[in-house]
Chains A and B, each alone.
Chain A
Amino acid sequence: MRLTVDEEEMLAGKRGRVYQKAMQILFQLGEIYGAEKMIPVSNVHMPGASVIVAGKAGTRLVEEMAKEGGIFAVSTTLNPAAGDFNTWQEIGFAREDMELQERLTGGYREMGAVPCHTCTPYLTGNIPRKGEHVAWGESSAIAFANSVLGARTNREGGPSALAAALVGRVPAYGYHLDENRRGQVLINVNTELNGPWDYGTLGYWAGNIVQERVPVFKGIPWSVSLEELKLLGAALASSGSVALFHVLGVTPEAPDLETVFGGSEPVQFLEYTEEAAVETVTRLNKHKGDRVDLVAVGCPHASIQEIGQVAEMLRGKRLADNTDMWILAALPVKTMADRMGYTKEIEAAGAQIVCDTCPVLGSTAAVVKKRGYRSLATNSAKLAHYSPGSWNLDTFYGSINRCVKAALSGRWS
């Protein structure tokens, strides 16, 4: 790999130990993946921002780097934390996790990260444009940045994103290069999709088949919403490890078949049918009875429109006794919901907006134990994917309407 004078100096330790380690990580990753050079990134979205992921060791490393004078070279946003900083006690997140979380968040903040603690940084101001090189973690956010925004990122893990934030560069390989961004599998969507939930189901079905290859969807209308694309990407990255997808005529790198496949033929053709959708929904529903203890919407974090939709459905009603409902969102989005009056309506019904965290990355096991949850209902294919294995919960997967109905009746119907 060819390095610039500046990069060589960092690697040799002339800017201190923190930057030397960061450059070593990026240089060695570049060697492993056959990169020819480093490229500058304009921002970083940091995975490993929850102590459930980073643990004591990751926290110690971040604290140490901050203490030794590490400063992030580029704008950096943080992925969800282990719990909601304001309401963790009331909900039942573990005290020891939150104490460690304060240290981890503090270390990142000292180096310059914005502690927005969300998996949807694109809803809170981190919105890279087409062709912009960035270093993002969080599988659903990676899929959104690469696919919907047309920015360029590999699937960064905790240490590599930390290194990229410190030096503002990444080795040029993978999705940073044109040749790896072309479509590989053509998927014809041959059934009607009604709302975000249907897009999650499509993504879950497709991800399972294409795994890490790049799918191109044909037959999705130009009017597809941000929420629908958000759930599509999150599901693709749960059942598979898709980091980039294209939607013909919709996403920025897919104006037509010729362009998106780079003049080559697709390696595989798939047809998404009504039967495939039904089969996928059945696969994601893993429950014995019909009793629902917790309803969770907002995986990935809810947009203001999604919160408004839930507020409207809950208006003037009350949740069933012994059923809780979380709407997961980023703090700035909750602030908007406060101003819209949504938060009041949601709370009046007995539900709550939970910020800074999510079931997948939070200390959810502690909450499940403390509150005695045995089942979870969600409109997110990603959350439905993780729920049975992670917390041994009976899992219900359905549209947002069905989820709200379950919250009101305490039963899945």
Chain B
Amino acid sequence: MRAIKARKVVGGTGRGEAMVSLEPICFLGGVDVNTGMITEKGHPLEGRSIKDKVLIFPIGKGSTGGSYLIYETVCNGMGPVAVINLKADPVTVTGCIISEVPMVVDPGENVFDLIKDGDMVEVDGDAGIIRLE
């Protein structure tokens, strides 16, 4: 097992399959709150669901309304189990806090090299550690 240090943002532990996007994700208009499906046209993850995934993307984008939509997706049981971002942005950070989704940012190593789609990953938001199995 390999452990990567990261800055903790939201506590708790989430474990699941990695879903990796090199592109930013916009939750306002980009994700269906009822299915967890990415709906943004032309997005590399278009048509795939974030449900129960450890969602890994560089940074969020879009308006503050996006925070509420993360919350709604999670309330509907369609949210990710954890989020890893390279850089913190207000929308995703706020969304994960109100939805209680474990979240870390600024990983100490290049997660895009080390983690591939479908790998089992655990995010420990209390310790600020990403564990790869």
Contact = CB atoms under 8 A, between A and B. Distances in A.
- Bound pair (A, B): yes
A160 B67 CA distance: 10
B94 A159 contact: yes
Interface in B67-118: 67-69, 71-72, 75, 88-90, 93-94, 97-98
Contacts of A158: 64-65, 67-68
Nearest to B93: A28
B98 A21 contact: yes
A25 B98 contact: yes
Contacts of B25: none
A57 interface: yes
Nearest to A137: B64
B26 interface: no
Interface in B1-43: 9-10, 33
* Minimum-distance CB pairs A-B, first 9: A157-B64, A57-B72, A57-B68, A58-B68, A159-B94, A24-B97, A28-B93, A57-B71, A159-B67
B97 A28 contact: yes
Identify which of A53, A55, A157 gathers the most chain B CB atoms within 10 Å of its CB.
A157
Nearest to B97: A24
29 contacts: A21-B97, A21-B98, A24-B97, A25-B93, A25-B97, A25-B98, A28-B88, A29-B90, A29-B93, A29-B94, A31-B88, A32-B90, A53-B65, A54-B68, A55-B68, A55-B69, A57-B33, A57-B72, A57-B75, A60-B72, A61-B68, A157-B65, A157-B90, A158-B64, A159-B64, A159-B67, A159-B68, A160-B64, A160-B90
Contacts of B72: 55-57, 60
Contacts of A32: 88-90, 93
Contacts of B71: 57-58, 60-61
A177 to B, nearest CB: 18
A24 B9 CA distance: 8
A56 B94 CA distance: 17
Q: Chain B, interface size: which category?
A: 10 to 19
A66 B97 CA distance: 17
Given A57-B75, A60-B75, A28 B68 contact: no
A58 B63 CA distance: 14
A48 B72 CA distance: 15
Given A24-B10, A31-B88, A160 B94 contact: yes
Contacts of B89: 32
A158 B97 CA distance: 14
B50 to A, nearest CB: 16
Contacts of A160: 64, 90, 94
A32 B91 CA distance: 11
A38 B93 CA distance: 18
A25 B100 CA distance: 11
A175 to B, nearest CB: 16
Interface in A272-319: none
Contacts of A28: 9, 88, 93-94, 97
A158 B9 CA distance: 20
A31 to B, nearest CB: 7
Contacts of B98: 21, 25, 61, 159
B133 to A, nearest CB: 28
B126 to A, nearest CB: 12
Nearest to B94: A159
Given A56-B72, A157-B65, A159-B64, 14 more contacts: A21-B98, A28-B93, A28-B94, A31-B88, A32-B90, A57-B69, A57-B75, A58-B71, A60-B72, A61-B71, A157-B67, A158-B65, A159-B67, A160-B64
Interface in A45-75: 48, 53-58, 60-61
Contacts of B88: 28, 31-32
Contacts of B33: 57
Contacts of A55: 65, 68-69, 72
Interface string A1-44: 00000000000000000000100110011011000000000000
A211 B65 CA distance: 21
A57 B75 CA distance: 8
Contacts of A58: 68, 71
A158 B64 CA distance: 7
A30 B33 CA distance: 28
Contacts of B69: 55, 57
B76 to A, nearest CB: 9
